[in-house]
Amino acid sequence: EPEVTQTPSHQVTQMGQEVILRCVPISNHLYFYWYRQILGQKVEFLVSFYNNEISEKSEIFDDQFSVERPDGSNFTLKIRSTKLEDSAMYFCASSESGRRGKETQYFGPGTRLLVL
Amino acid sequence: ILNVEQSPQSLHVQEGDSTNFTCSFPSSNFYALHWYRWETAKSPEALFVMTLNGDEKKKGRISATLNTKEGYSYLYIKGSQPEDSATYLCARGGATNKLIFGTGTLLAVQP
């Protein structure tokens, strides 16, 4: 069964460093998402991406964050200058289409980011 | 801001017990309610997408109901097994495609 994959599974970085989290969505899917879960809190939406551009972004997704689909298979989240509060589990998800919240989103296993 | 809440936060049951938990959400401008099952170190697994008031969906021993008028959904597990131990997440889908998640219910099934 097709699945969303994410690398790395864990990343430790120093505050102020740049990190790139990578995802390979399901191959025929057109919509891509990043979510994150800070320990003990809810899973929260960061950004959605369709047709090579951002469809929607949350207040969390400020200028320090960017997303890219560089080669037709990978989908990346870059954090330019990490802060302690960026420590979280980051999930990538994809969906076949975007039927106004009704489409199943398939999640990857997450990347646990720890900023020291 | 749309608030999705789940209860209880955690639940411990014995193997063979049936159990249920609740997801509540604002009922206005409803589009869809998603249920996920999330085991540690694995991908959250999609269980159901529910869109219509009165919807009932079933997958093996797991079933869910939806009441959009009062803003709640129940998830039921019949005859819990140790492999059902996981966090069960609900999420509201809206006019855009973002999902708004609840805090989850952590289920532990003891053999």
Residues B69-106 pLDDT 10s? 999 999 999 999 999 999 999 999 988 889 999 999 99
Q: Which residues neighbour B60 within 8 Å (Cβ) at sequence distance 6 or greater?
A: none
Residue B81 φ then ψ, to 5° = -120, 155
Q: What is the pLDDT, as a whole number, of residue B95?
A: 84
Interface mutation target, options B35, B96, B98, chain A, most CBs of A under 10 Å? B98
Q: Nearest Cβ partner of B102 from A3, A42, A95?
A: A42
Amino acid B1: pLDDT = 47
What's the mean pLDDT when you consider all of chain B?
95
User: Which residues are CB-neighbours of A86 under 8 A, at least 6 positions away?
Assistant: A79, A113, A115
Residues in chain B with CB shorter than 8 Å from the CB of A91 are: 44
Please give the pLDDT value at position B2: 61
| CA distances to A18, A66, A92, A112, B106 from A11, in Å | 11, 18, 15, 6, 26
Question: For chain A, what is the mean pLDDT?
Answer: 95
Cα B88 to chain center, whole Å? 5
Reported as a single tens digit per residue, the pLDDT across B14-32 is 999 999 999 999 998 899 9
Q: A107 vs B44: CB contact, 8 Å cut-off?
A: yes
* pLDDT reading at A72 higher than 90: no
Name the burial class of residue B46, with classes exposed (0-12), middle (13-18) and buried (19+) by CB atoms within 10 angstroms of its CB.
Answer: middle
All residues of chain B having their beta carbon less than 8 Å from the beta carbon of residue A88 are none
